[in-house]
Amino acid sequence: MSRQYRLIDKWLSEVDHALRTASSRNNRGQRANPAEEKGAEATELSDEERTLAAGLMRVNHSGEIAAQALYKGQSLLARNKALWEHLQEAADEEVDHLAWCEDRLRELGSQPSRLAPFWYAGSYTMGALAGLAGDKWSLGFIEETEKQVTAHLESHLERLPEKDLRSRQIIEQMREDEMEHAESAHKAGAAPLPEPIKRAMTGIAKVMTTTSFRW
């Protein structure tokens, strides 16, 4: 295959992944949904509790859409193969998270954010920029992102209705995985990001979480 065809092929597969991830309601991962696996009881929630739980799960779902795009964007420009494989492994676990959040939103009678295509496009660009900066920065970006996601998940565990066991089981497993993703990026040689970049990331995350909660 000529170089030009390989490039076109690569781009078509990137676009295909973007469309499938951002528009699908049936993403499927490899691991079982923790709520199913641990047999978490489906408890009766009031309208208010259901709205809160759905809002938080929608925020988490948007975060997972963004994670897919970040990892894809970074993989595109990763310079060494070991790093690419590392990113691929983490991206596969993020598909599980995406699928679990979708399942829970469906159970709550709700749906993912309508802005999902924007989250994907913006995050893909940010991932590609991190990749362009070089592998150690790309890993630093993963470590910081995963730490911020872990903090969000912890705050969700505090805000979720106590009796919403199914959402809780999912979030607890996600939190464990995201901590591991941060740890493995650190071990792989992540460079600590400059404070202004960290603050910018917090600001962008704030926009995404606030809007996804409602839309």
* From candidates 97, 147, 156, 175, binder to Fe ion by CB under 5 A: 97
Nearer to Fe ion, 51 or 179 (CB): 179
How would you label 43-72 residue by residue, b for 16+ Cβ within 10 Å and e otherwise?
eebeeebbebbbbbbbbbbbbbbbbbbbbb
Residue type, 19: L
Token pair listed for 66: 């963004």
Residues between 184 and 213 with contacts to Fe ion, criterion CB under 5 A:
none
* From candidates 70, 83, 94, 122, binder to Fe ion by CB under 5 A: 94
Contact flag: residue 166 with Fe ion (CB under 5 A) = no
Minimum Å gap between C-beta 155 and Fe ion is 15
**Distance (Å, whole) CA 90 – CA 18:** 17
Per rule CB under 5 A, count of chain residues that contact Fe ion = 6
C-alpha distances out from residue 37 to 44, 153, 169, 209, 215, Å: 20, 20, 9, 28, 30
Nearer to Fe ion, 166 or 181 (CB): 181
How would you label 167-185 residue by residue, b for 16+ Cβ within 10 Å and e otherwise?
bbbbbebbbebbeebbebb
Per-residue x/- marks for Fe ion, 141-160, CB under 5 A? -----x--------------
Applying CB under 5 A, the span of 51-59, 178-186, 188-196, 202-210 interacting with Fe ion comes to 178-186
Per-residue x/- marks for Fe ion, 27-66, CB under 5 A? ----------------------------------------
Applying CB under 5 A, the span of 4-12, 50-58, 91-99, 110-118 interacting with Fe ion comes to 91-99
How would you label 94-106 residue by residue, b for 16+ Cβ within 10 Å and e otherwise?
bbbbbbbbbbbbe
